[in-house]
Amino acid sequence: MGMTMTQKILAAHAGLDKVEPGQLVEADLDLVLGNDITAPVAIREFQKMGANKVYDKSKVALVLDHFTPNKDIKAAEQCRFVREFAQRMGVENFFDVGEMGIEHCLLPEKGLVGPGDLVIGADSHTCTYGALGAFSTGVGSTDMGAGMATGKCWFKVPTAIKFVLRGKPSGWVSGKDIILHIIGMIGVDGALYKSMEFMGEGLQNISMDGRFTMANMAIEAGAKNGIFMVDEKTMEYARAHSKKPWKAYEPDDDAVYDEAYEIDLSKIRPTIAFPHLPDNTRTIDEAGDVEIHQVVIGSCTNGRLEDLRVAAKILKGRKVRRGVRVIIFPGTQKVYLDALKEGLIEQFIEAGAVVSTPTCGPCLGGHMGILGKGERAVSTTNRNFVGRMGHTESEVYLASPAVAAASAVTGRITDPDTLLKAD
């Protein structure tokens, strides 16, 4: 019986020729990630172990992105604690205000992850790096603390689901629409503790930014990880960014999958996840008349340059509807600077949006975009649970940057094509 991509990466990092689903393995780590919410807990566990140094100063990444710039004294103390630990340990990949970005946008951009890597992070959306053909998964802070000390982590080898992508997306359909379509199809527990493995000739029609979006939301289907077959686009990205050698893994021809789905990308329509679960999806044609009060464009899901370009294309020469708040968060300082050079930031501000430093703030209902009672937001983030972005009686509708930008102009969930035709 052959192995999947994920199984091959776990076997290689465990020093084994072969692994099987359900097997427990101890594997070597290429990177351990934490942020300003999860790292303090991990650091305390690290200290309880009696550890006095990290296993590799270049293989620990600490990113202050959730409540930064600090929203209050507690957040400031959390960040101070992580900052002092990073300085004391000599952590090379420490990113503070001015240098930081949203962690899952930042690490690939900095070349800290690449094809074939094994990465853990004390953040559930660590699965983002599967876009590069890496095995990356979220863990608890205790595992992060042990990982920082030993460079190892235990894993139960997952089974897998195969997604064969065919055709080419049409119109404004993006990676966000594709993954929302898939989550709507299989459910929020449809891939529970499984690897979601993406392949097929349709991959060539999905950009790297689109793949990061899709891998990012694998956890929203309950998956252990999401992973893409490495192709020329992946290798081009790795050559441009990676600071270290990398290796691509392909599934064996006789790899066993629990299920296999064939997805015709040409048939997918812009898709929205209605409250209060990511699998409560409707196409734009089924959305109906939904009035909104806020739009958020950014996050680790859709804060990359391609996302901002799409939003700017729709907002250029138009105005945000009066009474709608639009908040845009570039994923990293580099994305912000590139958007500035391209004139995108000017277009956003002229349209009536505000543009913020990179932060996770509004995505988790932390700061800089909290919803009040009865308010509705269209957001390019990844979760729409009850109270996710503020009041428990607020509502979050997950959508692509194109749908979010079009909705900002009309004050209602809107098909970008409908908006453009109206002009």
When pLDDT is cut at 50, 70 and 90, the band that residue 362 belongs to is confident
Mean pLDDT of 374-395: 94
Type of residue numbered 345? I
Give me the CATH topology for the region 5-264.
Aconitase; domain 3 (3.30.499)
The two three-digit tokens of residue 45, written as one number: 């566990």
- With a cut of 90, say whether residue 363 has pLDDT above it: no
Measured in whole angstroms, how far is the alpha carbon of residue 299 from the centre of its chain?
8
Mean pLDDT for the stretch of residues 158-163:
98
Cβ-contact 242, 132 below 8 angstroms = no
The predicted structure's pLDDT at residue 287: 94
Query: For position 1, what pLDDT does the model report?
Result: 79
Residue 423 has pLDDT above 80, yes or no: no
For the beta carbon of residue 15, count every other beta carbon within 10 angstroms: 10
Distance CA 230, CA 183 (A): 22
Tokens representing residue 211 in the block:
């793949």
Distance of alpha carbon 196 from alpha carbon 72, whole angstroms: 38
pLDDT of 399: 98
Q: Would you state the pLDDT for residue 148?
A: 97
CB 250 within 8 A of CB 6: no
Q: Given a cut of 90, is residue 419 above it in pLDDT?
A: no
141-162 burial code (b ≥16 CB/10 A, e <16): bbbbbbbbbbbebebebbbbbb
* Per-residue confidence (pLDDT) for residue 131, from 0 to 100: 98
- Evaluate if residue 394 carries a pLDDT over 80: yes
The alpha carbon of 421 is separated from its chain's Cα centroid by a whole number of angstroms, namely: 32
Instruction: Report whether the peptide linkage leading into residue 358 is cis, meaning its omega lies within 30 degrees of zero.
Output: no
What per-residue confidence (pLDDT) applies to 126? Answer: 97
For the cut 80, the answer to whether the pLDDT of residue 243 exceeds it is: no
301's tokens? 């899901």
* pLDDT mean across residues, the chain: 95
Q: Which residue has 């909290």 as its token pair?
A: 370
Axis-axis angle for helices 305-315, 401-410 (nearest 10): 30
Domain positions in the chain = 5-264, 272-422
Q: What is d(CA 156, CA 10) in angstroms, rounded to the nearest whole number?
A: 10
CA–CA gap between residue 258 and residue 387 (Å, rounded): 34
Percentage of the chain beyond pLDDT 90 is 93
Taking the C-alpha atoms of residue 356 and residue 220, their distance in angstroms, rounded to an integer, is: 26
pLDDT, position 353: 97
Cα–Cα distance for residue pair 293/7, rounded to 1 Å: 45
Decide if domain 272-422 falls under CATH 3.30.499.10: yes
Section 18-43 average pLDDT = 97
| pTM to 2 decimal places | 0.95
Domains 5-264 and 272-422 are alike in CATH topology: yes
pLDDT tens across 214-240, in order? 999 999 999 999 999 999 999 999 999
Residue 16's pLDDT band, with cuts at 50, 70 and 90, is very high
Identify the pLDDT of residue 367. Answer: 87
Task: Give 70-128 pLDDT, tens digit per residue.
Answer: 999 999 999 999 999 999 999 999 999 998 899 999 999 999 999 999 999 999 999 99
d(CA 41, CA 108): 25
